[in-house]
Amino acid sequence: MFRSAARRHTSCSLRRSVSLGAQSAATMMLLHKRGSPAVLLPEFLREVYVGQRTGLLHVTQGEQAAVTFRSVNGEIVSGSSTEEKGRLGELLVRQGLLRRAELDRALVIVKTKKRRLAPVLRELDLVDTPTLEQALAHHIRELLLTALLWTEASLLFEDQELPDAPAEDLTLRCTTAELILEVVRRIPGGGTVRQGLGNLDRPLVAAGRLPFGIDRSRLNAAEGYLLAHADGSASARSMIETSPLPVADVERGLLGFLCTGVLRYGSAEPSVPRAKAS
């Protein structure tokens, strides 16, 4: 489902210039909320990706179920789950890519040396690099969509310093921008999407260029419409109301683009809304 991403993507993203000092208490409070993941997850993913943050995003349901995503300068590079069936090793075993005995062997190294599973599997030649990169992308997507459907959860982003050895991170066969668009496309209910859009009476402005990993040819009709018409001259509301496409599709496309930085709200007053086409 994901297309291959060029390897330069990881190395470039790791070199982004970002201030990663200790965050203020006020900032941390903004990154710790409880509620519906369908509402909060896009908000947190936007904060991580657009803000180019390095750290851990924890999504916790109740006292036991939890998933965690690790990001480096805004790019999600790995995911983990407290539930056994949601772990990367179990996914590889289920897909027939790894034997149980091989997984157990790798986990001994993971636990004793406190390392991540993916680079250990690569070093032991238990899974080849292209297959492992694809599995990592599938694993992260699976965890995101699992958390998205939880009724209520606690979301916390924990800032961290840039890791000493980022070379341990593999190049995913997808980008975080792709993952965010996929999550937003799968949010259940139009009302939930609307909650994340904010004030629609502001003009929409497109970024100078699409983020790495977003292919114009792979956008759906609503996303293409927004990209073609967001020039700062009309409000988000007027664009939604005058679009020939279903309102729910345009709203979902708008949220995805806001979360990936493809579109942003301008500060100037937009022009008077156009009459809806007959």
pLDDT in tens, the chain (278 residues): 433 333 333 333 333 333 333 344 334 445 899 999 999 999 999 999 999 999 999 999 987 789 999 998 899 988 999 988 888 889 899 989 999 999 999 999 999 988 888 889 988 999 888 898 889 889 999 999 999 999 999 999 999 876 555 556 666 668 899 999 999 999 988 789 999 999 999 999 998 888 877 888 889 999 999 999 999 999 999 999 999 999 999 999 999 999 999 999 998 555 444 444 44
* Number of domains composing the chain: 2
Q: Are strands 55-61 and 153-159 parallel, antiparallel or unpaired?
A: antiparallel
pLDDT per position as a tens digit, 92-114? 999 899 999 999 999 999 999 88
pLDDT of residue 22: 39
- Which domain-ending residue is among 158, 185, 212? 185
In a domain, 270, yes or no: no
pLDDT per position as a tens digit, 187-202? 988 789 999 999 999 9
- Which domain-ending residue is among 166, 185, 204? 185
In a domain, 225, yes or no: yes
- Whether 249 and 162 map to the same domain: the answer is no
pLDDT of residue 171: 64
- Whether 94 and 162 map to the same domain: the answer is yes
pLDDT of residue 190: 75
- Whether 104 and 132 map to the same domain: the answer is yes
- Whether 167 and 216 map to the same domain: the answer is no
- Whether 166 and 28 map to the same domain: the answer is yes
pLDDT of residue 268: 58
- Whether 52 and 176 map to the same domain: the answer is yes
In a domain, 180, yes or no: yes
In a domain, 274, yes or no: no
29: containing domain: 8-185
**CA 203 centroid distance within chain:** 25
- Which domain-ending residue is among 160, 185, 210? 185
- Whether 133 and 214 map to the same domain: the answer is no
- Whether 117 and 12 map to the same domain: the answer is yes
What whole-number distance in Å separates Cα of residue 191 and Cα of residue 203? Answer: 21
